[in-house]
Structure 1
Amino acid sequence: MAKMLFVNLPCSNLAAAIGFYQALGFSQNLQFSDETAACMVWSEHIFVMLLTPAKWQSFTQRPLPAEGSSEVMLALNCDDKQTVDELCTAAGVAGGVSDVMPKQDLGFMYSRSVLDLDGHIWEFFWMDPVAIAG
């Protein structure tokens, strides 16, 4: 069985967060969505669960990160540099913040980062498959 990743993220406005992630190309799995949570699908093995604060607190009593802080930076690979650029542009148009850290172009790897509507950091990157193979 293939391993799957479910990233759980608190969000202050569920409908707006759904729209943001759809603008980046995520699809919504309605089977695992309701008025407190939305399952957003990046690939057949990667899912983002957007959770209202109340739903988040049903999983953990740990406090939500303070505004302006970060707990993780999540990175998703892309097929090419153009896709990285397109996703960063789409994030900015959808209300996020593009290029919250300097763009990196190391030749064999290219990456850009965005903040979603709730300040979660996402990095989109491309790596040259030839360089990966060694």
Structure 2
Amino acid sequence: MTDIFVNLPTSDLDRAKAFYTALGASLKPEFTDDNAACVVWDEHIYFMVLTREFFSTFTDKQVADPATTALVSTAFSRTSREEVDRVVEAGLAAGGSEPREVQDYGFMYSRDLDDPDGNSLSFLYMDPVAAEQGPEAYLAEQGQQA
């Protein structure tokens, strides 16, 4: 099994911890201190939210400002449209912002959420038929054409 660690810079570590725990993640205290917080999404997916200063010690490149520069958008699937809405609404209440309108393609429903630093997240629900067989199969089942 592979564990995934996504490193994100933050200008306010306490604010970032509050934001991600409001989305339903937890913190791993053994890897959380004044420089970093280990945000646990599930048993194999973690965010290491690092102060910008500490983040810069892991690279010789300039650290981009996520408020103005998009480098990556991390997407999480959810079990329903309602779950997508619930997690995004929790993120908005915790200081996040929604940079785009809802994307509803029938077979896939997604919403984007920027954390308070501007790091991009997406939450999506995909119909099980479309997820397994592709959007064309879902549309055919609905009597539609691609």
Both structures adopt the same fold (TM-score exceeding 0.5) = yes
Q: Say which SS state the counterpart of residue 21 (structure 2) adopts.
A: helix
> How far apart in 2 are the matches of 1:8 and 1:116?
14
Residue 92 of structure 1 is matched in structure 2 by 92
> How far apart in 2 are the matches of 1:132 and 1:15?
37
Map 1:11-26 to 2 at 5 A: 11-26=10-25
> How far apart in 2 are the matches of 1:129 and 1:45?
22
Q: Structure 1: give runs of 5+ residues left out of the alignment.
A: none
Q: Say which SS state the counterpart of residue 62 (structure 2) adopts.
A: coil
Shift of 1:19: 0.2
Q: Say which SS state the counterpart of residue 91 (structure 1) adopts.
A: helix
Greater C-alpha Rg: 2
Q: After alignment, is 100-109 or 64-73 more displaced?
A: 64-73
Residue 105 of structure 2 is matched in structure 1 by 106
Structure 1 vs Structure 2: percent identity of aligned residues?
41
Map 1:52-131 to 2 at 5 A: 52-66=51-65, 67-98=67-98, 100-131=99-130
Q: Structure 2: give runs of 5+ residues left out of the alignment.
A: 134-146
Q: Using structure 2 for the length normalisation, give the TM-score.
A: 0.86
Q: Using structure 1 for the length normalisation, give the TM-score.
A: 0.94
Residue type of the partner of 1:129? P
> How far apart in 1 are the matches of 2:132 and 2:58?
40
Shift of 1:102: 2.1
Stretches of 4+ moved more than 3 A in 1? none
